């Protein structure tokens, strides 16, 4: 599974190389593709948790944490919205917690934390309604 | 290491903008997302724990009533009538619907009283329901998202803002199956008009198609074509259906074709319903006292009362989920639902007049028959209404804080959970928020199901009724 992903990432990067400069979102707006990717990762994580696929859930939680760090970074750099920054700090905190509980083999706890994390997404979106 | 990983992701175009990721699905690798690879169902779920109830009567109040005009009494709002809304109440509130923010408003004619041992407040719009105060469990800190009816109604029924997910009733049907093989496990009813956003609200979504709600029509003959045509004998009909069943089940795709399975099941069910259902939905033989209890003799409450009396008969006969959408009384064409953007006093007088006696009658009747302990009646609405007036004496949509209630088995009776602020706009304590997912999780819990374990694999993903959300509201349970 990991190999396929890495192969694809490499493929996508070279593709990106060819089209460099064609797509760059403005500095203050959050990237919608990033958000869509976050959503897919979050859904996949939810599914893997329900099916008790611990290894895949760990992989998703690692990825999600990375992505949420990017969201946090976005709101740090474009410090336009204090409330969103605070929520993104929380998001990172919660995703750390989730990941830790998976490493400690506590899938049931991870499921509960996943609900909180999904609520955190909504809390941030509410600001931008 | 982490930094380089992030750089790696960024190089993919994440954090900028890139469409090259289309088709990449985390946890699944690369595949065409257009291909819906239906994976066999995990099978019926069965009970996860002891159930408190056998059936749910889901009373959708279509158009969204105003909690603060029915059962969420706000003395401060009365004090502030006609004034601007104090700034601090507006934190986190965006007015997405056209109305904007007007002056705070109360109907000068409204009067309020406390009822029962629980001392719950009711306005004069609900004198009959008020008598059931001690059987009710209020959720006073409900919230949702969306500002239009269709979207929020879908979320209320299916957990998603777009059509396509299974409704709560479909999940119940899928998870627990039928208690009476002569009747559908999930029935939908309404008085008068087809409700907004229609069938996606009782859809089976990605679940096998047989779990979608079966809609009964309003009026004297709720089930169309129930009678066998005179020219066909019982034996002829039966042998035709048997042939069809044999023929279809030999189709090599049969086991994957849930539409076909659903159709065959429906034929079989329809044949059995010819005997059973006609009797169950026929309210003519109910005695006068019962009919009066449901307000069937009154032109305002009559059509809704008939539907609720039918709901009791369905539950009594083993239907698991009865989904009732409020319509409107005959007569005045200007009032079609609870959506009172103007002249709320007139709208709510008619609409409350339509539902008050029938719902109170339903609760009393279920109780008298010993059924309330094993049934859950839910007053569900897509959102609430604003404390400020719109076009003078109307109210706009309010997804931030509103009241829903339940009555039935497994609940603390005469109990209130959560609260809105002093004007009824926002939830007072965000930790007590009851979103639609939480209500669904709680209903399923009472039915003996853990929403986290009520799963169905679709497109290689485990799906559940509460999407990625859902917390059981344990504080309202016994």
| Cβ neighbourhood burial of B287 (10 Å; 0-12, 13-18, 19+) | exposed
Residues 6+ away with beta carbon under 8 Å from B303:
B191, B192, B218, B219, B327, B329, B330, B354
Q: CA-to-CA distance for B394 and B272, rounded, in angstroms?
A: 48
pLDDT at B40 over 50: no
In the numeric block, the tokens 């989730």 are attached to: A98
Q: What percent of chain B has pLDDT over 90?
A: 68
Written as six digits, the tokens of B364 are 């009393």
Check if A51 contacts B (Cβ < 8 Å).
yes
pTM given for the model: 0.86
Length of chain B: 478
Written as six digits, the tokens of B225 are 């074509």
Written as six digits, the tokens of B185 are 């496990």
| For residues B211-222, average pLDDT | 86
Tens-digit pLDDT profile for residues B242-301: 888 888 888 888 777 777 777 777 777 777 777 778 888 889 889 999 999 999 999 999
pLDDT at B160 over 80: yes
pLDDT at B20 over 50: no
Strand partners, B402: B142
Q: CA-to-CA distance for B292 and B105, rounded, in angstroms?
A: 35
Better-predicted residue by pLDDT, B179 or A104: A104
Q: CA-to-CA distance for A57 and A54, rounded, in angstroms?
A: 5
- Residue B316: which pLDDT band, with cuts at 50, 70 and 90? very high
Specify whether the CB–CB gap between B349 and B70 falls below 8 A: no
Q: CA-to-CA distance for B72 and B122, rounded, in angstroms?
A: 8
B43-205+294-476 has which CATH code?
3.40.720
Better-predicted residue by pLDDT, B316 or B44: B316
The whole domain housing A78 covers: 28-127
Phi, psi values for residue A61, rounded to 5°: -70, -35
Alpha-helix runs per DSSP H in B201-257 = 234-249
pLDDT at B10 over 70: no
Cβ–Cβ gap A32/B17 under 8 Å: yes
Look over chain A and give the mean of its residue pLDDT values, rounded to a whole number. 83
Cβ–Cβ gap B28/A69 under 8 Å: no
Specify whether the CB–CB gap between B371 and B315 falls below 8 A: yes
pLDDT at A12 over 50: no
Element (H, E) at A7: helix A2-18
Check if B39 contacts A (Cβ < 8 Å).
no
| For residues B134-155, average pLDDT | 95
Written as six digits, the tokens of A127 are 């600001």
Q: CA-to-CA distance for B399 and B366, rounded, in angstroms?
A: 31
Cβ under 8 Å to A: B residues 117-146: 145
Q: Does ipTM exceed 0.85? A: no
SS3 call for B105: coil
The whole-number pLDDT of residue A23 equals 36
Chain A residues in contact with B468 by the CB 8 A cut-off are: 42-43, 46, 114-115, 118
Which of A67, A46, A15 has the alpha carbon at shortest distance from B159? A46
Q: What percent of chain A has pLDDT over 90?
A: 67
Domain count, chain A: 1
CA distance B45 to chain A (A): 14
The whole-number pLDDT of residue B223 equals 77
Provide the number of CB pairs (under 8 Å) joining chain A to chain B.
115
The whole-number pLDDT of residue A17 equals 33
Q: CA-to-CA distance for B424 and B444, rounded, in angstroms?
A: 28
Cβ–Cβ gap A122/B2 under 8 Å: no
Check if A96 contacts B (Cβ < 8 Å).
no
Cβ–Cβ gap A8/B8 under 8 Å: no
* Interface residue of B26, B152, B383 to substitute, partner A, most A CBs within 10 Å: B26
Q: What percent of chain B has pLDDT over 70?
A: 89
Q: Tell me the torsion sign for CA atoms B393, B70, B400, B363.
A: negative
- Beta strand spans in B27-89 (E): 29-30, 55-60
Residue A22 maps to a domain: no
User: Which among B6, B25, B452 has the least Cβ separation from residue A50?
Assistant: B452
Cβ–Cβ gap B2/A34 under 8 Å: no
Check if B31 contacts A (Cβ < 8 Å).
no
Better-predicted residue by pLDDT, B235 or B74: B74
Q: CA-to-CA distance for B403 and B399, rounded, in angstroms?
A: 11
- Residue B8: which pLDDT band, with cuts at 50, 70 and 90? low
Chain A residues in contact with B14 by the CB 8 A cut-off are: 31, 33-34, 37, 67, 70
The whole-number pLDDT of residue B3 equals 53
Domain range list for chain B: 43-205+294-476
Specify whether the CB–CB gap between B435 and B146 falls below 8 A: no
Q: CA-to-CA distance for B414 and B116, rounded, in angstroms?
A: 8
Specify whether the CB–CB gap between A47 and A114 falls below 8 A: no
Check if B28 contacts A (Cβ < 8 Å).
yes
Q: CA-to-CA distance for B372 and B411, rounded, in angstroms?
A: 11
User: What is the chain A residue with the closest CA to B145?
Assistant: A126
Weakest-pLDDT range from A58-67, A100-109, B30-39, B239-248: B30-39
Look over chain B and give the mean of its residue pLDDT values, rounded to a whole number. 88
DSSP 8-state class, residue B78: H
CA distance B317 to chain A (A): 34
Residue A63 maps to a domain: yes
The whole-number pLDDT of residue B26 equals 42
CA distance A126 to chain B (A): 8
| For residues A105-128, average pLDDT | 95
Chain A residues in contact with B397 by the CB 8 A cut-off are: none
User: What is the chain A residue with the closest CA to B26?
Assistant: A41
Cβ–Cβ gap B11/A13 under 8 Å: yes
pLDDT at B24 over 50: no
In the numeric block, the tokens 């998603």 are attached to: B160
Specify whether the CB–CB gap between A71 and A88 falls below 8 A: yes
The whole-number pLDDT of residue B235 equals 83
Angle at CA of residue B455, ends B452 and B460, nearest 5°: 125
Check if B8 contacts A (Cβ < 8 Å).
yes
- Residue B9: which pLDDT band, with cuts at 50, 70 and 90? low
Element (H, E) at A83: helix A82-103
- Residue B21: which pLDDT band, with cuts at 50, 70 and 90? very low
Element (H, E) at B357: helix B344-368
Tens-digit pLDDT profile for residues B364-421: 999 999 999 999 999 999 999 999 999 899 999 999 999 999 999 999 999 999 999 9
| CATH code of the domain in which A111 resides | 1.20.120
Phi, psi values for residue A116, rounded to 5°: -60, -40
Residue A106 maps to a domain: yes
Specify whether the CB–CB gap between B327 and B305 falls below 8 A: no
Chain A residues in contact with B13 by the CB 8 A cut-off are: 12, 16, 23, 33
Q: Tell me the torsion sign for CA atoms B129, B132, B135, B139.
A: positive
Specify whether the CB–CB gap between B456 and B41 falls below 8 A: yes
Which of B179, B183, B160 has the alpha carbon at shortest distance from B458? B160
CA distance B320 to chain A (A): 25
Residue A55 maps to a domain: yes
| For residues A25-54, average pLDDT | 89
Question: Which pairing describes strands B214-216 and B24-25: parallel, antiparallel, or unpaired?
Answer: unpaired
User: What is the chain B residue with the closest CA to A14?
Assistant: B12
Tens-digit pLDDT profile for residues B324-360: 999 999 877 789 999 999 999 999 999 999 999 999 9
| For residues B456-469, average pLDDT | 96
CA atoms lying within 13 Å on the CB side of residue A53:
16
pLDDT at A76 over 60: yes
Tens-digit pLDDT profile for residues B75-116: 999 999 999 999 999 887 776 555 678 899 999 999 999 999
Angle at CA of residue B371, ends B61 and B373, nearest 5°: 85
């Amino acid at each position: 599974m990991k190999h396929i992903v890495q192969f694809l990432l490499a493929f996508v990067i070279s593709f990106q190389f060819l089209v460099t400069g064609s797509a760059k979102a403005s500095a203050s707006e959050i990237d919608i593709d990033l958000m869509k990717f976050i959503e897919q990762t979050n859904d996949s994580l939810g599914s893997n948790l329900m099916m008790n696929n611990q290894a895949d859930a760990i992989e998703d939680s690692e990825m999600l944490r990375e992505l949420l760090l990017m969201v946090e970074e976005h709101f740090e750099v474009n410090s336009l919205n204090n409330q969103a920054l605070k929520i993104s700090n929380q998001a990172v905190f919660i995703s750390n917690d989730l990941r830790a509980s998976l490493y400690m083999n506590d899938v049931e706890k991870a499921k509960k934390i996943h609900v909180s994390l999904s609520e955190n997404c909504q809390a941030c979106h509410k600001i931008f309604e | 290491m982490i930094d380089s990983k992030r750089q790696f992701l960024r190089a993919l175009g994440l954090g900028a903008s890139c469409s090259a990721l289309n088709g990449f699905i985390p946890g699944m690798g690369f595949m065409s997302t257009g291909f819906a690879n239906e994976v066999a169902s995990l099978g019926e779920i069965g009970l996860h724990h002891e159930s408190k109830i056998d059936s749910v009567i889901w009373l959708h109040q279509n158009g969204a009533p105003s909690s603060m005009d029915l059962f969420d009494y706000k003395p401060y709002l009365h004090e502030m009538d006609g004034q601007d809304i104090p700034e601090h109440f507006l934190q986190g509130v965006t007015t997405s619907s056209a109305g904007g923010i007007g002056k705070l408003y109360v109907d000068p004619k409204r009067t309020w009283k406390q009822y029962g041992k629980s001392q719950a407040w009711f306005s004069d719009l609900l004198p009959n329901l008020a008598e059931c105060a001690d059987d009710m469990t209020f959720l006073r800190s409900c919230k949702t998202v969306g500002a239009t009816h269709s979207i929020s109604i879908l979320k209320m029924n299916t957990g998603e803002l777009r059509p396509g997910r299974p409704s709560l009733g479909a999940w119940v049907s899928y998870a627990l199956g039928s208690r009476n093989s002569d009747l559908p496990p999930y029935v939908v009813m309404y008085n008068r008009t087809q409700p907004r956003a229609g069938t996606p609200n009782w859809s089976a979504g990605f679940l096998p198609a047989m779990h979608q709600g079966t809609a009964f029509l309003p009026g004297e003959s709720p089930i169309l074509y129930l009678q066998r045509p005179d020219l066909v004998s019982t034996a002829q009909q039966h042998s035709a259906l048997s042939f069809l069943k044999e023929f279809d089940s030999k189709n090599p795709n049969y086991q994957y074709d849930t539409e076909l399975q659903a159709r065959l099941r429906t034929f079989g069910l329809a044949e059995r319903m010819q005997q059973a259902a006609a009797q169950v939905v026929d309210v003519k033989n109910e005695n006068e006292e019962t009919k009066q209890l449901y307000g069937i003799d009154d032109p305002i409450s009559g059509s809704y009362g008939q539907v609720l009396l039918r709901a009791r008969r369905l539950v009594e006969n083993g239907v698991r989920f009865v989904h009732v959408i409020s319509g409107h009384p005959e007569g005045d064409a200007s009032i079609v639902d609870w959506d009172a953007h103007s002249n709320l006093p007139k709208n709510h007088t008619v609409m409350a007049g339509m539902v008050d006696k029938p719902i109170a009658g339903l609760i009393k009747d279920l109780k008298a028959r010993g059924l309330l302990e094993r049934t859950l009646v839910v007053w569900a609405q897509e959102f609430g209404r604003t404390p400020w007036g719109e076009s003078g004496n109307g109210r706009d949509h309010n997804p931030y804080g509103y009241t829903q209630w339940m009555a039935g088995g497994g609940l603390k009776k005469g109990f209130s959970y959560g609260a809105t602020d002093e004007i009824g706009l926002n939830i007072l304590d965000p930790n007590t928020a009851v979103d639609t997912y939480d209500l669904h999780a709680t209903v399923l819990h009472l039915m003996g199901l853990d929403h986290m374990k009520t799963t169905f694999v679709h497109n290689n993903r485990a799906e559940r009724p509460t999407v990625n959300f859902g917390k059981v509201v344990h504080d309202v349970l016994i």
